[in-house]
Structure 1
């Protein structure tokens, strides 16, 4: 894309009719006040010059352009392209300029902000009340953790696969909790996760990360019963700890046919009614059945 620097009257530019980016009233007024003080626009909008109509359309920087007009600025500078752009290309540029942005390191932001010794200039900085509250609550001595090396893995499940993903993750959490899990993962496990995603992607020839992660969850579900070793000692036949054991590791499934489930439910209701098992611990019926089976000669 060929880009040029242009200077002209902001009133000659055409603003977007539909703009997803919004600015709160107090933020916009602060922007207008800053421009009045500077008597210039100190950041550049991005403009598309439609050579067929002659219109110069602001794809990015609509609020700055509008605020410069309200501040009485006669001339601003902007970046401009005259390349032929489709509507989709223009929309993609508009959205990307609005959505792709960095984030502030609060500890550094606090250090920089506190170096401003003029109250008017602090107001000029334009930090909103919510951020100011975060800076006020920031405890500098506790920021040593910020120097630790870590990776953040964010996983978003779209509605189509939400229920299945929730079911699998519930099983994963239940199995982990019965194996004395530590909920802070080592950094090396991030690399293992990335390697697993790469392996799943290559094995099934997929490039979508969500699909690859789904394959990993399916593989886990297929082999989750192997985690019986987390609570059961195969050599002694005794439990390894006094926590809870997921039924999935016993029955190799987390669901049974409804016909069979109905029989089990009626039996459990009868066992509770007779007082054979407490209502709050219905699993005791399973233990009694198993013990009866073990006591019966082969």
Structure 2
């Protein structure tokens, strides 16, 4: 068997020694290497399981079993197989891992697992009671955007997020999954669109037209007062993301003049808006 000359996967010395000890104890490999039978060169190349093969040799095994590919494999396919076997692996539920590990009464069997000190330290921090709902039913939704749509989507999500109250939810509830699909379907039906990305673009366009409604996240129109502390996006005040450059230039000139004459702090020119508001309110009162 021919081991790889270039292998991205490495095994720390302690873990390799534990692997050798486990194989010596078992008398065989309990997980199977993947080998390509290169008929042209007459070599059997180990694509996955190089460390297991080396550990088997060091453990003194005379023969092992493996899964063999006999069809021709281009170099690109060989690399893809090697990297995928190294990279695609499951993750342990820490609560279940702790529960199973605690069942091992023998120190010898605990050592056999090969769990390192870092993992064991994390297990000590696991509160099983708090992770009782770890295995929830869920549905994954993957959204992919082209550059133009990505910019619009990021701007929309940022605007929605910045108007949220302190009770932020970073994981959407499963009950929101169906409404999202319904919104996409309604958009497709309204514009006779077959592509979900285009339908999402329609949803974003509708969202853009209703930016001012996001003010509900921080403003009470009845009292005219803010309902929370913090900052609010200007889009939710003006209802648009951009204003004409002439208007922006005039506003910037006024704010710069206020900064120069000391009316507002240099690092907070936006306070010039407060001055303008107070002036308008005073004029109305008089």
Same fold (TM over 0.5): yes
Asked if structure 2 preserves the Cα contact closer than 8 Å seen for 1:272 and 1:279, the reply is: yes
Q: 225, 231, 238: which one pairs with 2:224?
A: 238
Offset, 1:271:
2.3
Partner of 2:86: 98
Residue number among 216, 229, 240 corresponding to 1:253 in the alignment: 240
* Shift in alpha-carbon separation, 1:148–1:119, aligned structure 2, 3 A: same
| Kept after mapping to 2: 8 A contact 1:206/1:212 | yes
TM-score norm. by structure 2 comes to 0.76
Deviations 1:193-238 (A, max 9, x none): 455567789946267xxx987886666445423323445566x573
Q: How many residues align?
A: 279
Residue by residue, what CA displacement relative to the aligned partner does 1:248-277 show, whole Å, maximum 9, x if unpaired?
022233345666545433322332454545
Residues 132, 195 of structure 1: alpha-carbon distance in 2 compared, 3 angstrom cutoff: farther
Tell me if the contact between 1:33 and 1:71 (Cα under 8 Å) persists in the aligned partners. Answer: yes
Partner residue in 2 for 1:7: none
Residue 73 (1) aligns with residue 71 (2): no
- CA distance change for structure 1 residues 26 and 213 in 2, over 3 Å: closer, same or farther? farther
> Quick one: distance in 2 between partners of 1:131 and 1:287?
55
CA distance in 2, matches of 1:213, 1:34: 53
Taking structure 1 as the reference length, the TM-score comes to 0.73
The Cα shift of 1:37 comes to 2.3
Q: Does 1:42 align with 2:36?
A: no
The two structures, once aligned, show a CA RMSD in angstroms of 4.0
Unpaired segments ≥5 residues, structure 2: none
User: Relative to structure 1, is the Cα distance of residues 30 and 158 closer, same or farther in structure 2, using a 3 angstrom cutoff?
Assistant: farther
User: Is 1:51 equivalent to 2:39 in the alignment?
Assistant: yes
The reply on whether 1:188 has 2:175 as its aligned counterpart is yes
The separation in 1 between residues aligned to 2:182 and 2:50, in whole angstroms, is 43
Match of 1:18 in 2: 6
CA shift in 2, pair 1:88/1:35, >3 Å: same
Tell me, yes or no, if structure 1 residue 205 matches structure 2 residue 175: no
Quick one: structure 1 residues 260 and 176, their matched pair in 2 at CA, closer, same or farther if it must change by over 3 Å? Answer: same
Query: Which shifted more, 56-65 or 246-255?
Result: 246-255
**Do 1:230 and 1:240's aligned partners in 2 also have CA atoms closer than 8 Å?**
no
Task: Report how far residue 74 of structure 1 moved.
Answer: 1.0
Closer, same or farther: CA 217–72 of 1 in aligned 2, 3 Å: farther
Distance 1:98 1:200 in 2: 42
Aligned 8 A contact 2:156 2:208 in 1: yes
Q: Who is 1:271 aligned against?
A: 258
